[in-house]
Amino acid sequence: MNMHFGQITIELFFGFIALFIITRILGKTQITQITTFDFISALVLGELVGNAVFDDQVSIAEIFYAVFVWGLLIFILEMITQKWSKTRGFLEGKPTIIIREGQILRDSLKKCKLDINQLQHLIRSKGVFSIRELDYAVLETDGTVSILKKAEYENPTKSDLQVNLEKVNIPITIISDGKILKENLIEAGFNYTWLDQQLKKQNIFRTEEVLYAEWLEGKGLHVQSF
């Protein structure tokens, strides 16, 4: 029995590594932009490892081989869609306009297997609670919706209000869970001595006392203790 659990542990470990490598090779879009084919691919990869783990006759080498071959097929398909743009519509699908000039396109909804309630849910996820506010809405291949509001419902920009534009800076995390992020500290242009001085100004004498600290140009260091 112990040998059986040990074998499952080893196969899970190597299966996880194989899936992780394949995911890294295929890129982040496999996670963030799941198309129909990507969804099927994820299911199949999971099934390959899952079935292998609970099948005593399947070896670790066979798990690697199965995941490698399936990952290779996905990779080849990605290369095909990148090289020959005409194949993308068939293999990945096409975005579909579901609202045009404020009018719901019923035929497009039927084609995409959407009803009005689902449409309302999608646009609410974009912060729009009335269809009348929309000029266009496009259903993307990953199932999300992109919207373009009518002019009167668009939020004014700073240029519209003739407000002075300021450079936008990205906050840099300096400390997380009591640990100094050295690369971020250097990227911000500081060192340990500077950080120590900044913490002492806030009556903090050990970095282990800090839950989170971030640096923002023009705003200084923001610190939250445990």
SS3 track for the chain: CHHHHHHHHHHHHHHHHHHHHHHHHHCCHHHHCCCHHHHHHHHHHHHHHHHHHCCCCCCHHHHHHHHHHHHHHHHHHHHHHHHCHHHHHHHHCCCEEEEECCEECHHHHHHCCCCHHHHHHHHHCCCCCCHHHEEEEEECCCCCEEEEECHHHCCCCCCCCCCCCCCCCCCEEEEECCEECHHHHHHCCCCHHHHHHHHHHCCCCCHHHEEEEEEECCCEEEEEEC
Confidence class for position 65, pLDDT limits 50, 70, 90: confident
Pick the CATH number of 172-225 from 3.40.50.1220, 2.60.40.10, 3.30.240.20, 3.90.1300.10: 3.30.240.20
Predicted confidence (pLDDT) per residue in 154-163, tens digit: 887 777 777 7
pLDDT of residue 5: 62
Percent of the chain with pLDDT over 90: 18
pTM: 0.53
As assigned by CATH, the class of the 96-153 domain is: alpha beta
Q: Inform me whether the pLDDT recorded for 203 exceeds 80.
A: yes
69-73, 177-181, 194-198: the lowest-pLDDT one: 69-73
Predicted confidence (pLDDT) per residue in 100-128, tens digit: 988 999 898 888 888 888 888 888 988 88
